[in-house]
Every structure is written in structure tokens, then in C-alpha cells.
Structure 1
């Protein structure tokens, strides 16, 4: 279980961004978090993944603090994939910095072998986001924080990306925290939702169980 308890974070001279924020994410669970721009959703994601250190509170994975100098069991996937890669590296090196994914998994995300020799700027946003998702799926990763990863993609590319991630998450029993402004997307993906407002999390109002993601109908848009 990914457990965050009493997280507080702020910047000197500015209002506190997060104040006494707590949540749990079980293995295999999909949890949605929404909130207005500037509410602190990305800050929360970076705290969970260890990119930021809370001023108060704790983050634990299966009851223990996440390791500092080994593979992070919680991976944060940002909205803008170009900010997560070295623009001077080719895609093959970007992937192999983390691991060498099997061909079957690469194919599941629609990643073509021709991309391996390209630089990030030669890929579309949807193509590069799929590369970044694949890179994060290193064996040993237990939880993913998907921070608006499909907000700038067209509907077909969104469908393809989420279908691929759902299949892998189900197979590996990964917990996935989905951060999004898109209420319909969260309804579709997540059985439980929270809203971040004024530095605190509260349950979101929702109706019924989320429908399963529809079977793949069309190839990924590029």
C-alpha cells in the first residue's frame, strides 16, 4: 500500500500548498484526484514519488519509507513528456536508461522500432508520452502517478494510452493515481475519487461504478 499521512508543503512567503494531506492507494487500485489549476495536484504527485520532500508528514510504501538511492517504487508521469527526457538522447537510450522493455510490451503501447533512433523532438506529444509511460514500467515499480498525462492528446491517442496502461497495471497489480481535470475520464478509470481544494483532500461526489475501458477499436493516432 502507498500511504501518505499528514503531508504539508509550501514555499516561503506564499500560502501553504498542501496542509495535512493524507491518502492511501492499494495495489491494483485506480484512484482519481481532481482539483482546480494551482490546487497542488502536481505537488502532491511529486511528494508521493519522492521528487519533493514534505515539510511535515510521511510517505511509505508497504509500511517502509521509499529508498533514496535505488529504484523508486512510485513513478511520477508528468503532463509534458518533453520535460522528462534528455533532448540530446535518442529514444533507445532514453528507454535503456531505465530498462530494456520486451518487444511485446513496446508493441502494446504502439511504439515503433523506427522511433528508437529518433530524438524526442522528432516525435509527437502522444508518441513521446507513450515512451515515457513505457520507461516508467520498470519491474519493481509498484505505483504510478499519472499527472494529466493525456490532457493534450487527441481522443484516439488517449484511448490507446489508457488501454495499454490498464492492461499492464492489471497484470502487475500496479496502483495508479490518476490526476486530471477531466471528470468524465476519472469516472471512467477510477472506482474512487478525491478532490484537492484549499490544501486538503476530500471525497468527490460520484455516481455508480466506473465502466470498464472499452475494447480497442482503432489504431493510435499519431
Structure 2
């Protein structure tokens, strides 16, 4: 289980972005998170994945703190995939940074063989997002934070990406936090949903 306990965080002194926020995600569970722009959704996702350190509280994975080296068991996937890759690396190296997926695994996410020799700028946003999602599924990964990963994609690509991710998550019992403004998407994918507002997390019935 991934457990965030009483997290508090702020960028500006005296202005809490998150205050005593707690959230638990079980293996295989899909949890949805909505909220207004600037409410702190991405910040919470980064805290869960170890990209940020909470000012108060802690993030625990199976009764232990998150590791500080190696492939991280909690992966954060940002809305803009170009922010998550080295622009000087070809796609093959970007994938190998985490693992080397098989041809069948690449096909499942629509990653074409001829992409592997290209640099990130030579791919569309949807193509690069497929690469980033595939990279995040390295062995040892237990949880994913999908932060608006389909917002900029066309409808067909959105469906294909979520279908592939859903199938892989079910096979490996990955826990997934889906951050999105799309309430219909959250209803369709998630068994539990929360809304973040005024630094507080509220369950949605």
C-alpha cells in the first residue's frame, strides 16, 4: 500500500498548498483526483513519487519510506512528456534508462520500432507520451501517478493509451492515481475519487 500521512506543503511562506492531507492507495486500485488549476494536485502527485519532500507528514510504501536510488517504485507521469525526457537522448536510450521492453510490450503501447532511433522532438506529443508511459512500467514499479497524461491527446489516442495502461496495471496489480479535470474519465476508470480544494482532500461519493 502507498500511504500519504498528514502531508503539508507550501511554496510560499504562510500559504499552505496542502495541509494535513492523507491518502491511501492499495495495489491494483485506481484512485481519481480532481480539483481546480493551482489547487495542488500535481504537487501531491510529486510528493507521492518522491519528487518533492513534504514539510510535514510522510509517504510510506509498505511500512517503509520511499527508496532514494534505483528505479523508483512510484512513478510520476506529467502532462507534458517533453519535460520528463533528456532531449539529447534517442528514444531507445530514454527507454533503456529504466528498462528494455520487448517488441510485444512496445506494440501494446503503440511504440513503433522506427521511433527508437529518433530524438524526442521528432515525435508528436502523443507519441512521446506513449514512450514515457512505457518507460514508467519498468520491473519493480508498483504505483503510477498519471498527471493529466491524456489532456493534450486526440480522442482516439486517449482511448488507446488508457486501454493499454489499464490492461498492464491489471496484469501487474499496479496502483494508479489518475489526476484529471475530466470527471467522466475519473468515473470510468477509478473506484475511489477525491477532490482537492483549499489545501484539503475530500472524498467524492
2:96 matches 1:87: no
User: What is the total number of aligned residue pairs between the two structures?
Assistant: 205
State the alpha-carbon separation in 1 of the partners of residues 177 and 183 from structure 2.
14
CA deviation after TM superposition for structure 1 residue 103, in Å: 1.2
CA deviation after TM superposition for structure 1 residue 14, in Å: 5.4
Kept in 1, the 8 Å contact 2:33–2:194? The answer is yes
TM-score, normalised by the number of residues in structure 2: 0.98
1:110 aligned residue = 110
State the alpha-carbon separation in 2 of the partners of residues 59 and 185 from structure 1.
26
1:57 aligned residue = 57
CA deviation after TM superposition for structure 1 residue 45, in Å: 0.3
State the alpha-carbon separation in 1 of the partners of residues 91 and 143 from structure 2.
23
Structure 2 regions of 5+ residues with no counterpart? none
Kept in 1, the 8 Å contact 2:109–2:130? The answer is yes
1:209 aligned residue = none
2:142 aligned residue = 142
State the alpha-carbon separation in 2 of the partners of residues 197 and 176 from structure 1.
21
Deviations 1:12-51 (A, max 9, x none): 3351110000000000000000000000000000000000
CA deviation after TM superposition for structure 1 residue 82, in Å: 0.4
Q: Tell which deviates more after alignment, 11-20 or 56-65.
A: 11-20
Deviations 1:73-118 (A, max 9, x none): 1000000000000111110010011110111111000110000011
Structure 1 regions of 5+ residues with no counterpart? 206-222
State the alpha-carbon separation in 2 of the partners of residues 140 and 82 from structure 1.
24
Deviations 1:134-192 (A, max 9, x none): 00001010000000000011100000000000010000000000000000100110011
CA deviation after TM superposition for structure 1 residue 69, in Å: 1.7
State the alpha-carbon separation in 2 of the partners of residues 167 and 70 from structure 1.
25
TM-score, normalised by the number of residues in structure 1: 0.91
Give the secondary-structure state (helix, strand or coil) at the position aligned to 1:8.
strand
State the alpha-carbon separation in 1 of the partners of residues 50 and 201 from structure 2.
19
